[in-house]
Amino acid sequence: MWTTALESSLFALFASSCVQAISLNVRVRTSYNPDSILQARNDHQIPVHNTRNSEYIANITLGGREIPVLLDTGSSDLWVTGDVPGTQDLGKSVSVSYAVGRASGDINSADLGFAGYQISSQAYLLVKDTSSFSLDIKAQGFEGLIGLGPNTGSVILKKLDNDSGNSVLNRIFSQNTTTSNYLSLLLDRKSRANQTFTGQLTISETLPGYENILTMPKLAVDKVHKLTNEDQHWQTITDVFGVIGPDGQPIKIKSIVPSAPKNTLAVVFDSGYTLPQVPRAMSDAIYGRVQGAEYNENLGSWIVPCAQLINLSFMFGGNEYPIHPLDVSSSDFNVVDSKGNPACLGTFQPITSAFSLLGEYDIILGMGFMRNVYTLFDYGDWVNESSNDREDPYIQLLPVTDKASARNDFIQVRLGGVDTTNATSQALLPANQGLKSPFSKGEKKKMYEEKVLSRWPEIFVGCLIFLILLVALITWRCCVRRKRRRAAQAAKLGLATNVTGRPNAYSVVDMNSSSTQLNMHEMGAPKPQTWDQPYLYQNNGYKSHGA
C-alpha cells in the first residue's frame, strides 16, 4: 500500500489489492535533499529519509544506478522510472494502478543492491512513461517504489509464473539461508520536538540500542484465506479491547473479520499509508468529543483545534503502545475549520475507500502509528527456499514513544511551552454529547457487501448443505412415488386376474361339489377313459373321441 502527500492531494494507495484511493484536498509542505540520505553505518542497515512525515524513502542500486524509492510494507513489487544500465527486457508487460496514476511498463531484470545485499537479475517493472501520474514524482523525491510485503502479493511473480519473479526480500532471504528472515523499520518524526533517532531500515539484524525488540511478544501474522492470499499483508490481531481512547477507556468496536476473536480487531501495518485508517465509529470516538471538532466531508476527516492534546494507545501482546499526540492530530496539512481558522487534521481517518470488502482487516496502521514503534517483520516460512526450520511469519513491536516525554513535546510544539492541557476548553465533552460523522450511501453499500463477501465460505458451505438436503429430499420423494406407483400397479394387476379367471393364489377344492369329478387309478395302469375329457393320451393307444 502506498500513500503519500503529493502536490495538492494526499492519497492512500493500495496497489496490491485494488482498493480505491482516499483523496484529501490538502497541501503538504515537502522538501527533499538527496544528500540527506546518508550512507549506511552497518553492512545491512540503511538510513530512511522522511519527507514531512508523509513519505519514507531509501536508496537502492539497480544496474549500478542509485535510485531513491518509497518504502512500502503494504505491497510486494519493485518499480522504477528512468534508464537502468544493463537492464534486460523480459518481454512481458504489467500495470499497477494507483490513485495518482498507473505504473505501466515491461518487466525487466537487472542486478540489484539493497541494504548491503546483492541480487543478480532482480525482476522489476521499468516505467518509461510517467505522464499518467498526476504529479512529478521525481520532484517529490522518489523515482520508484519497493514493496516489502509478502511474496504472494507480487504482480510480477504472478505474470512471470516462476521463481524469477520473486520479490526483493524473498530473493535476499532465499539466497542467504543462514541469516534471519526479518526486516526492521524505524521511522522518525519531523517536528520541532527533540528526537534521539533518525529513520533506519535493517535486514537480518537489529538496530544498535534497540536489541530489546527481540524479547517482545511475537505477534502471529493473521493469515487470509488461501484463495485470496494475494491480499495477504503484515497484519495481526489486537488484544481484547485493544484500543484505548482519549478518556482512558477502551473503544469498543466489533470486528468485520469473521475469524477475529471476540472484542479484538485485525490490524494491517503499512509504511505506505500516511494517515491510519480505522472504523468510522472509532474515529468518532477519538475526535467527536473534542470541543470545537468538526467533521469535514470533503476531506473525509475530522478537524480539531491544534491546541487539543488527544491521548490514544493500542494494545498488542499485553503491551501498550502510546501514540504521540503530534501523530494523533497533524499541523502539516494547512487545513482550516469552517470559520477559516487554522486547524489540525485528525490523522486517524474513517476507513472508507480502503474498507475491506472481503472482511480481511479492520484497521490500517500507517505512518501515524509506525513512528511510535520500532517494527520487526519476520517472513519465516513465507520464503520457501530458505532453511527448513523457519517459524510461521510474525511481527514484533518495540514502543519508542514515552507518554510523559510526548506530552512535553506537545506543550513545546503546539502550546509554545505553556501548559494549558488541563484547561476547561480542553476537557472532553460527555459521551452522550459526542459528535458523529455521517455515513454515505456508498459506505453503507460497501458495509452490506462486506457482510456477504467476507462470509462467502460459510455461505458456500451453507448453500452446499442446502443443495445436498434438497437432492436428498427430491430423491426420497421420488422413491416414495415409485413405491406408490408399483403398489397401484400391483392392485390393478390383481383385479384383472379375477376377471380373466386366472387366480392369483391356490383355490381350495370343494370335495362336495357335484361338478367335481376325481379320476383315480393305479400307478402305472392306463388312465381310465372318461367321456368328459376332450382328448386321450395317445401314448396309451387312445384316440380322441369324435376324431
Amino acid present at 224: V
Q: How would residue 505 be classed by pLDDT, with cut points 50, 70 and 90?
A: very low
Between 338 and 489, residue with greater pLDDT: 338
The better pLDDT of the pair 453, 180 is held by 180
pLDDT band at residue 14, thresholds of 50, 70 and 90? Answer: very low
The reported pLDDT for the residue numbered 501 is: 52
CA distance readout (Å), 261 to 227, 238, 254, 329, 422: 22, 9, 10, 30, 37
Best CA proximity match to 64, nearest among 138, 118, 144, 143:
118
What value does the mean pLDDT take over residues 227-251? 90
All three cell numbers of 176, joined, read 542467504
Q: Which of 12-16, 120-124, 129-133 has the highest mean pLDDT?
A: 120-124
More confident residue, 345 or 457: 345
In the sheet where 363-365 sits, what is the strand order?
235-237, 266-269, 363-365, 277-278, 349-350
Report the 10 Å Cβ neighbour count for 235.
Answer: 25
Q: Is the pLDDT of residue 275 over 60?
A: yes
SS3 content of the chain, % helix, strand, coil (to 5): 25, 30, 50
- Model-level pTM? 0.78
Q: Could you give the count of Cα atoms lying within 13 Å of 158 in the half-sphere of its Cβ?
A: 14
Dist. CA 329–CA 293, nearest whole Å? 11
Give me the mean pLDDT over the 85-97 stretch.
92
Please give the pLDDT value at position 324.
Answer: 97
Mean of the per-residue pLDDT values of the chain: 82
User: How many residues belong to the chain?
Assistant: 547
The grid coordinates of residue 496 equal 384383472
The one-letter amino acid at 399 = P
pLDDT at 76: 92
* pLDDT for res 535: 41
Give the model's confidence band at 350: pLDDT under 50 very low, under 70 low, under 90 confident, else very high: very high
Q: Which residue has the cell 468538526?
A: 294
What is d(CA 364, CA 142) in angstroms, rounded to the nearest whole number? 23
Helix (H) or strand (E) holding 58, with range, is strand 55-62
What pLDDT is recorded for position 227? 62
% of the chain surpassing 90 pLDDT: 57
Confidence of residue 455 (pLDDT cuts 50, 70, 90): low
Strand order in the sheet with 182-186: 45-47, 200-203, 182-186, 373-378, 394-399, 219-220
Within 10 angstroms of residue 228's Cβ, the number of other Cβ atoms is 14
Confidence of residue 496 (pLDDT cuts 50, 70, 90): low
**How many Å is the maximal CA-CA distance in the chain?**
146
220 against 178, higher pLDDT = 220
Buried (b) or exposed (e) across 294-310, using 16+ Cβ within 10 A?
Answer: bbbeebbbbbbbbbbbb
* Residue 106: pLDDT over 50: yes
User: How high is the pLDDT of residue 382?
Assistant: 87
pLDDT score at 226: 61
Poorest-pLDDT segment among 196-200, 398-402, 537-541: 537-541
When pLDDT is averaged across residues 202-214 and rounded to a whole number, the result is 96
C-alpha cell at 110: 537487472
pLDDT band, residue 82 (cuts 50/70/90): very high
Q: Which residue has the cell 541494504?
A: 115
Higher pLDDT among residues 158 and 440, named by residue: 158
Amino acid identity for residue 346 in this structure: G
* Residue 414 near residue 307 (C-beta atoms within 8 A): yes
Mean pLDDT confidence for 155-161: 92
**Count of CB atoms within 10 A of residue 14's CB?**
29
pLDDT digits (tens, 9 = 90+) for 34-66: 333 333 345 899 999 999 898 899 999 999 999
pLDDT for the residue 375: 98
Q: What is the pLDDT of residue 544?
A: 41
Rounded to the nearest 10 degrees, how much is the dihedral formed by the CA atoms of 13, 17, 19, 23?
0
The pLDDT, as a whole number, for residue 231 is 77
Strand, coil or helix: 398: strand
| Alpha helices (runs of H) in 329-455, residue ranges in sequence order | 367-370, 403-414, 441-453
Residue 85 pLDDT more than 60? Answer: yes
- Taking a C-beta distance cutoff of 8 angstroms, is the pair 275, 2 a contact? no
CB atoms under 10 Å from CB of 215, counted, come to 8
Q: How far apart are CA 116 and CA 414, in angstroms?
A: 40
State the pairing for strand pair 78-81/182-186: unpaired
Mean pLDDT of 258-263: 93
What does the alpha-carbon distance between residue 283 and residue 338 come to, in Å, rounded to a whole number? Answer: 19
Nearest alpha-carbon partner for 220 in 392, 375, 370: 392
Q: DSSP letter for 198, please.
A: -
pLDDT for 79 beyond 70: yes
pLDDT of 359 over the 90 cut: no
Can you tell me which residue has the cell 521511522?
A: 187
Average pLDDT over residues 503-509: 47
Q: How confident is the model at residue 229 (pLDDT cuts 50, 70, 90)?
A: low
